[in-house]
Chain A
């Protein structure tokens, strides 16, 4: 094997590097007080995995309850609390921080050629805020739960429910600061910490998409924060900004809430799209087609993302003129999203495609996100929306976007960068099986929900007419398969920490700066400040470099 150009280390004798960020210091304290962006990324990985499985358990309960048309497993109010907690945990404690918190933290400084994020202490603080917020959500859950739905819609949340809205609202407020700090850190790092030669248009697309998502975090999150502060003030002392009996307007809450929470969809999905760009380029060994267009489409999604919030309120008494305009603007978001999908397809065209696990997840992403996006066009159309909103159609739509899109991308990214993070490979066949199981489980879970919604089954009810049972049983069966698909990576990735093959610095022969250093990296990432003299995704440069290295060694 030593004659190949590709310099994969000999698996039998290869060892992990001596000095890494993992063995630089030992002990719990060295982790809990670390300022190393890579370690903080791992801390995030642990907490979001924990919350993901709690949120997943909630989803499992919801699906089990819906196995039969009656309310037999959970009482109606318990059911409300369970799906509310599922939503809050999955959105604020998993989807929003997942890619920026783990992969973003780990990779952004390395990919731009910096030693760390711009503000390491604030980075650690943002992990603590996220964890504290998570603990507060769990406290709300244990002490009696919240049953408003994750949207905290007023006046339900301020006047009519007798649950722990205050704890949950403050929890979201706290995690919001975590999100803001991560966003500021990423933006400043990309602007001010790039290595010599790393121009804006040499940045990997993962950086562009995290940058765009960070803009959304920085501008959107404070608006959610103030909306929740006002809800808490209204519940505690009754100031009445959203209370119609005092002259306030509940719709104002929804405007403020969705001003954040629609862009939040793009906070979730944009970093995922960045992962997909990296994966698709690497495993088709081609520069991403239309690099500049894909880069700018991230920024365009961020900009349009702020202009569409009212499509969540079409049936809530907004004026028909504004609804028309927001319907049109909603359609416009499809354009930059489609630019990405088409350009990925064009990248694949005539590429040397290999079907590694991250690539399988990436294909899953492209298929599922496309379905999710196209059904979004249905929902953006004013007339269709009146028929379909608040039914299972909308549940299926946003799960296709967020789970089919974001979660697939997150799994793609975790597998893709696992060798870099841990220095070891995961078991090849098992991981491909997991990708397949996840995909099948996903389709089986959520596709029937489109039909259910189209037939008129409303969301958020514990009981339903018996004629919907067949599709619900299918969906619950799918959720079981999906659960297996999530448990598998959890198990074999943990296994690989000890028994996985040694990966070497660049197992995929990818071009990013992160692959030019050892795996796992040293504490300050680079032995010397890198000087970048090649374009992003320049596989010819990489081939020459590898050939020269082999030549010098030989």
Chain B
């Protein structure tokens, strides 16, 4: 390792010293590079957590204020579709972990396979999400665009156990749906970005990019994908489940 030569003649930095091609020049060792990129990813996820945190705070406040409206709102969501999506996302987290494992073991075919399955599961999740959004649109539950309070001032035949809301509280269900669309929409946006990155990863994995010792990128993307999964695992109970017993 002739670090002196690297620094004095940066234009000849590649000549005559033996480090793996993926080690960037400003790092001293592969280990340092791995630790730095992983730490950077965790910090980025921390910012993402704060980003969603603002909306979770809004949810907490409004749920306390407008409890009956939130109960009525959550009855409009399909627990079945939500549950299926939860299972799909957890499975995609598993396949993502298997992809990281395959990369670490240097198995190219397995890496490409697991990444592709992850991508597929992500697309299925988004498809189901889109059909849920379409249903909400048809039921006039989209705040700002076509929201109608009439569903909530009368007893809904589909949910006979749920009492009709007084008008002022029925109007507050808009806040519930605002948060529903803001939170799941932001989550879906993260999924779309994730899927685009995944497509790029698959493309490069097929060329053998991550199976020759350099697994940081796949590992860090794995962290991002797990983060998306974890956010959904909070969104699902908060939006779909916790008032269902009422």
Seen from chain A, the residues whose Cβ lies within 8 Å of a Cβ on chain B are 19, 24, 109, 114-120, 122, 180, 183-185, 187-189, 191-193, 218-223, 225-227, 229-230, 233-234, 237-241, 246-249, 252, 255-256, 259, 522-529
Contact = CB atoms under 8 A, between A and B. Distances in A.
Given A241-B182, A249-B61, A529-B28, A227 B43 contact: no
Q: Report whether over half of chain B's contact residues are helix, strand or loop; otherwise say mixed.
A: helix
Contact of B51 (A185, A226, A241, A246): A226
Given A114-B26, A247-B69, A241 B43 contact: no
A223 B39 contact: no
A19 B36 contact: no
A116 B39 CA distance: 16
23 contacts: A117-B26, A122-B40, A180-B47, A183-B43, A184-B43, A192-B35, A218-B46, A218-B47, A219-B47, A222-B47, A225-B51, A234-B144, A237-B143, A240-B143, A240-B174, A240-B178, A246-B175, A247-B171, A247-B174, A248-B175, A249-B62, A252-B61, A522-B7
B36 A192 contact: yes
A184 B44 CA distance: 7
9 closest cross-chain pairs (CB), A and B: A238-B144, A116-B26, A222-B51, A226-B54, A247-B172, A237-B144, A115-B26, A239-B178, A222-B50
A304 to B, nearest CB: 18
A233 B66 CA distance: 22
Given A24-B11, A115-B7, 7 more contacts: A183-B43, A219-B50, A222-B47, A223-B53, A239-B181, A252-B61, A523-B7
A240 B175 contact: yes
Contacts of A238: 143-145
B25 interface: yes
Q: Report whether over half of chain A's contact residues are helix, strand or loop; otherwise say mixed.
A: helix
B8 interface: yes
Contacts, number: 146
Interface size class on chain B is: 35 or more
A116 B178 CA distance: 44
A188 B34 CA distance: 12
Interface in B49-106: 50-55, 57-58, 61-62, 66, 69
B28 A240 contact: no
Contacts of A184: 40, 43-44, 47
B48 interface: yes
- Name the residue in A183, A222, A233 with the highest tally of chain B Cβ atoms < 10 Å from its Cβ: A222
A227 B54 contact: yes
Nearest to A193: B36
A315 B118 CA distance: 51
B153 interface: no
Contacts of B44: 180, 184
B144 A222 contact: no
A188 B174 CA distance: 42
A249 B60 CA distance: 13
A221 B35 CA distance: 24
